[in-house]
Structure 1
Amino acid sequence: MDQDLYAVLGLKRTATNDEIRRAYRRLAKDLHPDQNKGDPVCEEKFKRVSAAFAVLGSPEKRKRYDAGEIDSMGNERANPFYRDYAAGGGAGHHEGFGGYHNGGAGGGDFSDIFGDLFGRRGPSGGAFTMRGMDYRYNLEISFLEAVNGVKKRVQFPDNETLDITVPAGVESGQTLRLRHKGGPGAGRGEPGDALIELKIQPHPLFSRDGDNITLELPVSLDEAVLGSRVEAPTIGGRVTVAIPKGASSGQVLRLRGKGVRNPRSGTHGDQLITLKIVLPPVIDPELERFMQEWAKKQPYDPRARFREAAGA
């Protein structure tokens, strides 16, 4: 018999996906065969709860179930025209749709078939076994936590807490698999897994290009002209960087080994520092006079190569 899957989980049809997941976890934990050894009633309820979550736990299947396109077992419903035709006998008196009819030679209806599939005994006569459902979660971490690695304590919907190790070098969208931290299995079936998709927050200074870290470093006019040693941030802390004499905006300095550790090769990328010359917020008269005199004595055109390349 087709059953109301929402009623099986003790929910209304307006329940959210999170409410469905929490209800399943609570019921599956209470009814798990390992907690109720030798209790056929709990075993039967556990199977019904698991079957209900197999449909309602999937947004796509839930949508089709609510629309009446699939039944409580997740199977396509027969076209009403053919079902009515079969039930009425039709021209040749069929024994029900699909060759089965209550009380007929076929013996049993579809609920009997599914009872065999999900019954107390498997094909070999052993106890019913089914792997638990996988649970999916999102975990947001900072940019530096992603590139350097971090341990995070997370709390699951059933209030269970777990310490998770996020390895160095993970990327946004990558999924961590926690074995046997999903839904409970039935009988000797192993628990499902918890799949944790990582979301990485952007950083105000750093960006990532593969295993390399990129950074734009402001330098003053005198530091660029005369050369200097300045502090620059890296994902591992602050370091001293040598600004070459006569540096220009857009020039790139490479700090080897200061990038992201590649988990496969074990090597580190580099940090690429792009220099950006920044003038003082106020140009004082002395600097202005100096530049006017200097421009008269040392004229140069920084855009000459642009005109040459354009053929002008």
Structure 2
Amino acid sequence: MRDPYDVLGVSKTADEAEIKRAYRRLAKKLHPDANASDPKAQDKFAELNTAHEILEDKEKRGQYDRGEIDAEGKPRAPDFSGFSGGGPRRGPGGFSGFDGDTIFESFSFGPEGVRRGGPRGGGGFEDVGDLFGFGRQRRSAGGGFAPTPGADMEITLPVSYEEATAGASKRVGLPNGKQIDIKIAPGTREGHRMRLKGQGEASPMGGPSGDAYVSVTYAPHAVFERDGDDLRHSLDVPLPDAVLGAKVRVPTLTGAVELAIPAWTSGGRTFRLRGKGLPTATGGHGDLLVKANIVLPKAQDEELEALMKKLREAAAQD
């Protein structure tokens, strides 16, 4: 996977606002719905979301910059150059083998990298990695070796606000080349994680495959701006409607609804449509906040100008 900075097209000194702007711009450009003819659209969009997930999080960004995780957010294996504990022993006659007990007491080697542990216990498996040159294996309590399962995979699945609200079926590409359809239930929230057992990476030693975990993320929307579980929308209101009042159509995630604009509505006034936002943790929905944006007629109107002059003169006298 490419460098997250290259994916977003930002420098390593970019601040949070610059990263957010770059992500929104590219998300609209690369969204699969806007690139239906591109078979790689889903992969490109997933790569963009992974890069954004790393760089928007200060902790993950720091880990990536220090080389602790890779471009997919996975831990990097540490450098063992110069490692001496539990290594080969040499006696007066030369090489005399590994001090295996010391090695297994100090470290265990797994798909997630190397971790320090205590002395060996009496049961279960112990991951000894590729220590002796014949693949990642696990030592069993009986003294034999069992192949290590394949690595788990994390997949980010972008869904639109409408799909999260009403439910949808989404096609996902898996590491093994399969294409599967995943059903998104109505009311699915961002961060929901699904396990696909045995759909991760294959084991290099013939063991069981790992699992694939699919996490739902919200894709940027062209009409609504997210504010927690609420949505915000700026609605253009013609000047006559703002002065005299009118009923206007407002888009929502479940279809347009009618909103009554009272007479003498000022620009910036916000109307709340309850239950028209995103799914909440309690099973309900947030609200839609509609801000009135007063717009003038497209054509120049001399009578309107004369009226405005009259009002301005009256205001000056007051």
1:241 equivalent to 2:242? Answer: no
Say whether the 8 Å CA contact 1:213–1:259 is kept in structure 2.
Answer: yes
Identity of aligned residues (%): 35
1:208 aligns with: 226
How many matched pairs? 217
Q: CA deviation at 1:222?
A: 1.0
Q: Which of these residues, 76, 94, 98, is aligned with residue 60 of structure 1?
A: 76
1:285 aligns with: 302
Pair 219,99 (structure 1): closer, same or farther in 2 beyond 3 Å = closer
Deviates more, 1:228-237 or 1:131-140: 131-140
1:227 equivalent to 2:242? Answer: no
Q: Secondary structure at the match of 1:268?
A: coil
2:293 aligns with: 276
Q: Which of these residues, 136, 142, 149, is aligned with residue 167 of structure 2?
A: 149
2:274 aligns with: 256
Please list every run of 5 or more consecutive structure 2 residues that lacks an aligned counterpart in the other structure.
1-73, 102-128
Q: Which of these residues, 184, 188, 194, is aligned with residue 166 of structure 1?
A: 184
Partners of 2:305 and 2:130 in 1: CA distance: 91
Q: CA deviation at 1:147?
A: 4.4
Deviates more, 1:201-210 or 1:137-146: 137-146
Q: Secondary structure at the match of 1:292?
A: helix
Partners of 1:111 and 1:182 in 2: CA distance: 20
Bigger Rg, structure 1 or 2: 1
Q: Secondary structure at the match of 2:257?
A: strand
Say whether the 8 Å CA contact 2:246–2:261 is kept in structure 1.
Answer: yes
Partners of 2:83 and 2:234 in 1: CA distance: 61
Partners of 1:218 and 1:97 in 2: CA distance: 76
Please list every run of 5 or more consecutive structure 1 residues that lacks an aligned counterpart in the other structure.
1-57, 71-75, 101-109, 302-312
Pair 274,290 (structure 1): closer, same or farther in 2 beyond 3 Å = same
Say whether the 8 Å CA contact 2:137–2:148 is kept in structure 1.
Answer: no
Query: TM-score, normalised to structure 2's length?
Result: 0.55
Partners of 1:215 and 1:205 in 2: CA distance: 7
Q: CA deviation at 1:202?
A: 1.7
1:128 equivalent to 2:146? Answer: yes
Partners of 1:112 and 1:191 in 2: CA distance: 21
Pair 278,169 (structure 1): closer, same or farther in 2 beyond 3 Å = farther
Deviation per residue, 1:12-63 (Å, 9 max, x gap): xxxxxxxxxxxxxxxxxxxxxxxxxxxxxxxxxxxxxxxxxxxxxx6722x7
Pair 266,140 (structure 1): closer, same or farther in 2 beyond 3 Å = closer
Q: CA deviation at 1:163?
A: 0.9
Q: Secondary structure at the match of 1:245?
A: coil
Deviates more, 1:162-171 or 1:267-276: 162-171
Query: TM-score, normalised to structure 1's length?
Result: 0.56
Say whether the 8 Å CA contact 1:153–1:163 is kept in structure 2.
Answer: yes
Q: CA deviation at 1:224?
A: 0.8
Q: Secondary structure at the match of 1:296?
A: helix
Q: CA deviation at 1:170?
A: 2.9
Partners of 2:256 and 2:314 in 1: CA distance: 40
**Corresponding letter in the other structure for 2:155:** Y
Tell me how large the CA RMSD over aligned residues is.
Answer: 4.2
Q: Which of these residues, 161, 175, 182, is aligned with residue 200 of structure 2?
A: 182
